[in-house]
Amino acid sequence: MLAPIAARVSGEEIDSGWLQGIAREPSDRLDHSGRTRAKGPLRTGMMVMSENEIAGAAQSGLGELESAAGDALGSKALQREGEANEVKGGARRAAGKVQARIDKIADKISEGVARAGDTTRGAVERTAIGAQRVAGRVDPFVSERPYSAVGIALGAGVVLGLLLAGRGPKIIYVNPRD
């Protein structure tokens, strides 16, 4: 467990697999204050931390260590590198929080679309059942009296056409401005 920390202090990148291991091993689970917890995923408050948040927190913490080591050793370069890592870690952690919020919004949108699909599917099924009932009632009438059925359909089409068309063509006069 110290090898990745030592690798980071020496300038190498932290292995993301190691960071994922932190979130999966029960003995290494931490709460928001850094104390070890026995059960549950790595959390801050009630939200699970993303890999970017964990990596950002680790990078920021290591940056603080580098900065303190540089200050203690009198190495301005190590101190500046530590401060830079603190900033990078904070940015990565913020990116992780934004990513988590976007994921939460995407999940809500997905749930809404799924609900709309279920509602639409139900409406289509109810409409199909209603159409079958109407067809079951109309079919014998059309078979027995085809000319009457055509006349009724023609009358309904004319009435519907008049209702949709309104009272004839609409003419709009535009007066030119002087």
Most confident of 19-23, 46-50, 151-155, 170-174: 151-155
pLDDT in tens, 33-64: 444 444 444 444 555 778 888 888 899 899 99
What average pLDDT does this structure show over 154-161? 92
Total domains, the chain? 1
Q: Is residue 65 part of a domain?
A: yes
pLDDT band at 168 (very low <50, low <70, confident <90, very high): low
Residue for token digits 């940056």? Answer: 63
The predicted pLDDT at position 38 comes to 45
Reply yes or no on whether the pLDDT at 20 is more than 90.
no
Q: Does residue 177 lie within any of the structural domains?
A: no
Instruction: Give pTM, 2 decimals.
Output: 0.45
Number of residues written out for the chain: 178
Using CA atoms, how far apart are residues 21 and 51, in angstroms rounded to an integer? 10
**Residue labelled with tokens 């467990």:** 1
Bigger pLDDT: 161 or 172? 161
Residue 174 falls inside a structural domain: no
Query: Residue 19 domain-assigned?
Result: yes
What radius of gyration, in Å, describes the C-alpha atoms of the chain?
35
The whole-number average pLDDT for the span 91-96 is 90
Which among 24, 10, 9, 84 is positioned nearest to 54, based on CA atoms? Answer: 24
Residue 176 lies in a domain: no
Least-confidence region, from 71-75, 154-158, 168-172: 168-172
What is the domain extent for residue 80? 1-166
What was the pLDDT predicted at 167? 66
How many of the other CB atoms lie within 10 Å of CB of 123?
Answer: 10
In a domain? residue 171: no
pLDDT tens digits, 103-121: 999 999 999 999 999 999 9
Quote the CA–CA distance of 66 and 88 in Å, as a whole number: 13
